[in-house]
Structure 1
Amino acid sequence: MTFIQLEYITALDAFRHFTLAADHCHVTQPTLSMQIQKLEEELGIIIFDRSKQPVIPTAMGIEVITQAKNILIQKDALHELIEYKKGTLTGELRIGIIPTLAPYLLPLFIQQFALKYAKVKVIVSEMTTDIITHSLKEGAIDAGILVTPLQQKGIKEYVLFYEEMLAYVSKKNALYQKHYVLAQDIDPNKLWLLEEGHCFRSQIENLCELRKQSRAGSHFDYETGSIETLRRMVDLNDGITIIPELATLDMPAKQLQLIRKFKNPVPVREVSLVVQRDFVKKRLIDALRGSILASVPEKIKKNKGSNIIAI
């Protein structure tokens, strides 16, 4: 039995397809298949039922795969301990981040983190919340940066900061004349939204109670995955959209004039670093968390989580 064989069976369990699992492990499909077969012969059991498509683990296979995951976790923990004792921080850190945070938060810290921890390979992917949590549980990523609370079993949340939700209002819209906005002031037929699947869309719907209101109107027929696109649509048309506070950091003065804050209590979204509860790479995660916190503007650090809008 080898660590490689254990890695192969956990990969096949995750992908349920020999070719996809082999691609993930950077080996040929025959190599992966042969090593898994050797492990089955050594253990005297069948780990995967190959008659099913996609392949699925047998009852005994499920227990073996669970134990294999635990062994691989402890192996990684041992490597991390050794590197720590040597006084170095090395390894690979795979991070998932939601699209409504990535363009605004990543530029604040990722370059400084890479320079400070030059021996750490950082792999960042934009993912929706559901994909991040699934990838964490499958071990495909080490950490996620997203909006919480999730309250999901097996996921540990480290709150980073609270980010205000702000209205971005067209000069043609009646709300432009107001200094502060109430959620009930927003006409749902004038509101530009992100497409389904984004947690920020869900928060806006909860904030404005849109599920209780009519969604008739042309603006609800146009959806995008980009906050920047929504902002541009407001610039060129009548309407309003909701944007996160970080999106305003590099705004020119002309666009800042279109920002309207909500009246107290100001709605915020809670941004957290999330990991598996039994995660390894603790020192890498601590370093990542420290770099993010050091990069966040002081104003945002001072925000309170007294009015967190649910996802």
Structure 2
Amino acid sequence: MNIQQLEYVLAVDKHRHFLKASESCFITQATLSAMIKKLEEELNVILFDRNKHPVEPTAIGKKIIEQAKKSLREIYRIQDIINEEKDEVKGELRIGIIPSLAPYLLPLFIKQFLDTYQDVALTINEYTTSEIQEKLLEGSLDVGILAIPLLNNDLKESTLFYEEFFYYSNTDVLSKSKQHILPKDVNPNNLLLLEEGHCFRNQVFNLCELRKKDFTSLKLNYQSGSIETIRKMVDLNMGCTILPELTLSMLTTEQKQKLSRFEKPSPVREIGLVTHRHFIKEKLIKVLNNCILDAIPQSMLDKSCKTIIPLQ
């Protein structure tokens, strides 16, 4: 048994197809199949049911795959330990970020980061909060950028900034008649929300206590995975919504006239970096943290006069 064989097994498990797995490993299908077959003979087990399409791990195969993930995760950490000891900022950093944050935060710091740390390779994917937690625990992500706290003892969190919530409406006189509004002023039957699975949706529910309100007179039940799509629907007089602070940079002067602030203490979501509690690449996380903080307005670093809206 060797590391390469375990990597091939995980590739087949990921793609559930021998040809696609071999292409992802940059080898021929024959070579990959032969290496996995050799491992099966050595272990005297069958790892994959090749008669099923897509290919599926056998019962014993699932157990071995889980152990292979753990083993490879520990093996890969050896190079991370060496880099840490050499005081080098280099290597790969796999980042997961929630969709309600990615389009607005990433452009603020990514170019500066890559220009400054040219020996670091970034892999960035958008995932929901639950997906980021799962991938951090299994070791397929190094760090998550998302709303916290998650209250998971296996994960380590550090605060980055506090992002204020704003009310956005095109036709509602509420935004014109009051300098500041209260969450109870928001009409749930006009409110457009992100779809299920997005933590920002849960926070809006908690902010406006929507679980306690009646939706029977809802005129438009529209849910989207994109804040920008929802904002455009509001611009078409289709309702109102809640926007997180970083999205405001995308608004025109005219659109900013549709914003209203909530009464203080301002409702915010706490954004942080999350890693596995046994994570090793501390120097990479430190420079990522500093790069983000350098790009964020100082006002977003101050916790005073703010109320953190819970995720659940």
Please report the TM-score for the alignment, with normalisation by the length of structure 2.
0.86
Distance 1:236 1:67, change over 3 A: closer
Identity %: 44
**Residue type of the partner of 2:287?**
A
Q: Secondary structure at the match of 1:158?
A: strand
1:95 alignment partner AA: I
- Residue number in structure 1 paired with 2:192: 192
Distance (whole Å) between structure 2 residues aligned to residue 269 and residue 122 of structure 1:
25
Q: Is the 8 A contact 2:167 2:259 kept in 1?
A: yes
Aligned CA distance change for structure 1 residues 307 and 90 (closer, same or farther; 3 Å): closer
Q: CA deviation at 1:52?
A: 7.9
Distance 1:231 1:65, change over 3 A: closer
Tell me how many residue pairs correspond in the alignment: 309
Residues 31 and 286 of structure 1, relative CA distance in 2, 3 Å threshold: farther
SS at match of 1:115: helix
Q: Could you say which residue in structure 2 is the equivalent of 1:310?
A: 311
2:236 is equivalent to residue 236 of structure 1? yes
Alignment of 1:199-278 (within 5 A): 199-217=199-217, 219-237=219-237, 239-278=239-278
Q: Assess if the C-alpha contact under 8 Å between 2:81 and 2:280 holds in 1.
A: no
Say whether the 8 Å CA contact 1:195–1:225 is kept in structure 2: yes
Cα distance in 2 for residues equivalent to 1:207 and 1:232 = 22
Residue matched to 2:47: 48
Match of 1:127 in 2: 127
Structure-2 residue corresponding to 1:297: 297
Residues 307 and 96 (structure 1 numbering): CA distance in 2 closer, same or farther, change over 3 Å? closer
Question: What amino acid is the match of 1:46?
Answer: V
Unaligned runs of 5+ in 1: none
Superposed counterparts of 1:1-311, under 5 Å: 1-14=1-14, 17-19=17-19, 21-42=21-42, 44-46=43-45, 48-50=47-49, 53=52, 54-59=55-60, 64-152=64-152, 154-217=154-217, 219-237=219-237, 239-304=239-304, 306-311=307-312
Question: Is the Cα–Cα contact under 8 Å of residues 182 and 263 in structure 1 kept in the other structure?
Answer: yes
What is the RMSD of the two structures over their aligned residues, measured on CA atoms?
A: 2.7
For 1:308, the aligned partner's letter is I
Q: Which runs of 5+ in 2 are unaligned?
A: none
Bigger shift: 22-31 or 172-181?
Answer: 22-31
Q: Map Cα deviations across residues 179-222 of structure 1 (whole Å, 9 max, x no partner).
A: 11111111111112222222211211221122222223455422
Give the TM-score taking structure 1 as reference length. Answer: 0.87
Indicate the SS of the match to 1:267: strand
Task: Find the aligned partners of 1:85 and 1:202 in 2 and give their Cα distance.
Answer: 42
In the alignment, the residues of structure 2 paired with residue 295 and residue 163 of structure 1 have an alpha-carbon distance, to the nearest angstrom, of 14
Distance, in Å, in 2 between the alignment partners of 1:216 and 1:76 is 54
CA shift, 1:298, in A, is 0.2
Query: Does the 8 Å contact 1:76/1:280 carry over to 2?
Result: no
